[in-house]
Amino acid sequence: MMKILTIAFLLVCTLSSQAQLKLANVFGDNMVVQRDQALKIWGQASPKESVTVDFNGQTVSSKADKSGKWKVELKPMTHGGPFAMTVSGNKEKLQLKNILIGDVWIGSGQSNMEWPLFNTKKGAESIENSANSRIRLFTVEKDMAANPESDITTTGWHVSSPESSPNFSAVAYHFGKQINKDLDIPIGLIHSSWGGTDIVTWMSWEGLTAVDGFENLNKSEYVEQASKSKEMMDKYQAALAKEPGMAAKWYSLSSDQYSAWDDIELPKIWESTKIGNEDGIIWFAKSFELTEDQLADASLSLGPIDDIDDTYINGQLIGHLEDWTLPRNYRVAKSQLRAGTNWLVVRVTDGTGGGGLYGKPEDLVLKVGRSTISLAGAWKYKPAVLSSTYGGPAKGPNDFPTCLYNAMIAPITDLPIKGVIWYQGENNTRNPQQYQDLFPSMILDWREQFGQDMPFIWVQLANFMAPASQPKESSWAELREAQSMTLALPKTGQAVIIDIGEANDIHPRNKQDVGYRLAMAAEKVAYGKDIVHSGPTFAGMELEGNKAILSFSNIGSGLKVKDKYGYVKGFAIAGEDGKFVWAKAQLKDNKVVVWSGQISEPKAVRYAWGDNPDDANLYNKEGLPASPFRTDQ
């Protein structure tokens, strides 16, 4: 036994002594490092190994600890480059090239920060013009962890180009492009987002449990549950990777084989069918008939599919998309069709939440020549992998507070940065009062974890859903209010986008203006520029008879309305009973006078207060919209 243990011990020692010299994944070719701050560089080596970093005229050495971790610190440097960096161990040497010194910004949040450049208004034009050697792009891959991880997963740093930009965060890209243009400083953009996530997933354990209502969270129970979930998810992910449908060519079966599948009516989210509350991969098949005379090039429409589709006709792949919001519209060549029976097969992968073809019946059509064939109605389906087999439905980030911070933020908290841009909150509109505590706590938490009092700039929620016919309460308005209240923290800024949302889409496609407005706020807050960085902000109210006279800060060169007749819209007014009615309003001496014939003694005014106050039109002359507000709180 002793001999076996000795051999095992020697083997471990041998493996340890051969540990590879590594840098943390946030460092690499094409990176941007933060100017004017001490720069920490860290990684892994053999225990007690000496490591030397040479960069921009500085040479600094350190010794790895007993676990192999090492870290050095370089003195602050001014912007410039490109430079090379050499990291040397006892026997190995790493060489990094094309490094710039400039400003590093982290962009984080949920799906509107994650939203890719290619899927935006003027996206093709933005991609075509995205070549810029002084803007570098870095995406943190999605991951969850019960405890803070030591490193992130990523494909590395990329120079901004038409090849690297299409799938990058559109908001972060447009923000960085504007900052680079205005300040002529190299910009590094680190994107770390996950769609549909709550703010608590982005906070550290220490930060979250310091917030009222979260102080009694049990760490050991949480870690145990998260570990069990990870074990289940690992098995589930392995099953998805080996799902049987592709190997068995379910996209190219006989009519008899498809006819043996189960029946289903489409379009319909599959949770509302006998499939039930499942995630995973399910195949759907639909036959249609064509005559010889009908054969021609065709267009196929399937409406939106949640989440990912691989679409085949007669065994040939004709389309693939990975966006649950996008309608599927695919071209079909005449050669891919045949006279007689044709089979349309759609392989759907659903990550979480609803799944399947969920549009309207009229969305599902094949247009071939002059014929239009409806594809709504009876389909066949066959599950390939279902999450329930592995203890599902699959659990996501919102099931485990702090898990995204642990995996996607904690590993880079030693990195000096210029600041953070943040677009999140849609998923917290069910409890906007709680957000009043969570949001500022998260900002303070990140500053504590990074050891930096860095600027924090965010996007206020856009207008969304149907406009209200009468004034009423709104959780979206209250969430916006919580965001505005957080401006009480120092070094913070807000981009108001109440005017560029879309009633039927929670993901506004105009990300260019979002990035621009974030950049204006950052140039004021982070760079100290003397500019108009915000739209009008409510400052006070005076009551005169049946009128309320409102004053504003951040009016720039003056108030204006976007209406060809000069009408001021978006205001509601209430008397002592607190019942709001729509109000009339006019500009006078850079103030807004508000009244209603129904209210003789006004007590409170609200502006742009609703899920989608689509007619709110108060701006400053610099073109930035007024922030929603109410005076009755």
Provide the mean pLDDT of the chain.
95
| Confidence at residue 5, expressed as pLDDT on a 0 to 100 scale | 37
Q: Tell me which amino acid residue 65 is.
A: D
Q: For the segment 79-95, what is each residue's pLDDT rounded down to a tens digit?
A: 999 999 999 999 999 99
| Confidence at residue 564, expressed as pLDDT on a 0 to 100 scale | 86
- 405 and 298 share one domain: no
Mean pLDDT for 305-313 is: 96
- 472 and 555 share one domain: no
Looking at 339, 366, 390, the residue that finishes a domain is 390
- 522 and 544 share one domain: no
Q: Buried b / exposed e across 2-18, counting CB within 10 Å, b at 16+? A: eeeeeeeeeeeeeeeee
- 386 and 406 share one domain: no
- 469 and 587 share one domain: no
Establish if 43 belongs to a structural domain: no
| Confidence at residue 528, expressed as pLDDT on a 0 to 100 scale | 98
Establish if 220 belongs to a structural domain: no
Q: For the segment 244-285, what is each residue's pLDDT rounded down to a tens digit?
A: 999 999 999 999 999 999 999 999 999 999 999 999 999 999
- 141 and 174 share one domain: yes
Establish if 385 belongs to a structural domain: yes
| Confidence at residue 228, expressed as pLDDT on a 0 to 100 scale | 84
Looking at 359, 390, 421, the residue that finishes a domain is 390
User: Which pair of tokens denotes residue 544?
Assistant: 């005169």
Name residues whose C-beta falls within 8 Å of residue 548's C-beta, 6 or more positions apart in sequence: 541, 542, 573, 593, 594, 595, 602, 605, 631
- Domain with 381, as residue range(s), is 244-390
Chain Cα centroid distance, residue 556: 31
- 280 and 320 share one domain: yes
- 585 and 515 share one domain: no
Contact of 590 with 558, CB cutoff 8 Å? yes
- What percent of the chain has pLDDT above 70? 97
Q: Where are the beta strands (DSSP E) in 194-276?
A: 262-266
Looking at 528, 552, 584, the residue that finishes a domain is 528
- 369 and 440 share one domain: no
| Confidence at residue 395, expressed as pLDDT on a 0 to 100 scale | 79
DSSP type of residue 274: T
Q: For the segment 237-255, what is each residue's pLDDT rounded down to a tens digit?
A: 999 999 999 999 999 999 9
- 385 and 248 share one domain: yes
- 334 and 465 share one domain: no
Q: For the segment 142-197, what is each residue's pLDDT rounded down to a tens digit?
A: 999 999 999 999 999 999 999 999 999 999 999 999 999 999 999 999 999 999 99
Establish if 348 belongs to a structural domain: yes
Contact of 172 with 121, CB cutoff 8 Å? no
Give the C-alpha separation, 143 to 131, whole Å. 29
Give the C-alpha separation, 438 to 445, whole Å. 10
pLDDT above 80 for 2: no
Q: For the segment 524-558, what is each residue's pLDDT rounded down to a tens digit?
A: 999 999 999 999 999 999 999 999 999 999 999 99
pLDDT above 80 for 12: no
Specify the number of domains making up the chain.
3
| Confidence at residue 19, expressed as pLDDT on a 0 to 100 scale | 66
Which has more pLDDT, 240 or 231?
Answer: 240
- Give the CATH number of the domain where residue 432 resides: 3.40.50.1110
CA distances from 226 to 110, 144, 392, 404 (A): 21, 9, 14, 12
